[in-house]
Amino acid sequence: MTSKQPEIRFPLVRVDVSEDALRRQYTGIELDKQAKRLVKRFVRMSRPFEALIDALVQDSRTDYETFDDFARHALWELLQAYRVAGYPDSEGLGKELEHRRVLQRKARDLANRQEVQDQLEHFDRDLTTAQRSSDKETIVEHLRWLESWMEESPSHTSKQAYRHLVLQRLSIQQSIRWLMEKVYERMSEEERELAERWNTMLEDWLARN
């Protein structure tokens, strides 16, 4: 005879929470004496988080009565997840977490790289058109934006990576040479300084590549 499954009332929205975790909601974890000692310090969080937790605690479809009830349940489930993952085998767990961090970082880097490539392809078209129409202003504007974007990179490594992506573009190289050779005498002092900075960057990059 199949036992009747208890009603799951918790999700206000679709969330990835197991049925076992829901059945342990508040009353279940109170049976564990260790759970009562989990919440012992203040926690800082954003207002949207506070508002969401308040809504959950006050909702009649949950068994939470106070923030502590919610926090005990959340912490208990997190600690259980670590235990299942292998904790206190810290070496094995550490390797697993580090592997996941590497994969996540590579995925972010790939996404960022693709976004940069898409932007540069758009710039290729703009710069090629600007050279054909002798549109100095558009070229200067694009180079100024790219310079600012590279300088605002969060680290030296990312700055160098972005610089490599930019300077290897034929449209960028041609735009720099066009400014230096075709319209340099007609540029303002600020525009000349910009062109000279880019020309120096390009020459340094070409020497290394």
pLDDT in tens, 130-172: 999 999 999 999 999 999 888 887 777 778 888 888 999 999 9
Same domain, 199 and 117: yes
Does 13 map to a domain? no
Q: Residue 38 to residues 26, 35, 67, 88, 124: CA-CA distances in angstroms?
A: 13, 5, 13, 17, 57
Looking at 85, 118, 135, the residue that finishes a domain is 85
CA dist., res. 202 & res. 34, Å (int): 63
40 in Cβ contact with 27 (< 8 Å): no
Q: Is the pLDDT of residue 85 over 80?
A: no
pLDDT for the residue numbered 139: 94
pLDDT in tens, 165-194: 899 999 999 999 999 999 999 999 999 999
Q: Report the chain's mean pLDDT, rounded to a whole number.
A: 76
Same domain, 152 and 203: yes
Domain that holds residue 63: 19-85
Instruction: Look at the block and give the residue holding tokens 């919440």.
Output: 39
Looking at 85, 108, 132, the residue that finishes a domain is 85
DSSP character string of 22-81: HHTTTHHHHTSGGGGGS--S-----HHHHHHHHHHHH-TTS---SHHHHHHHHHHHHHHH
Task: Calculate mean pLDDT across residues 75-93.
Answer: 65
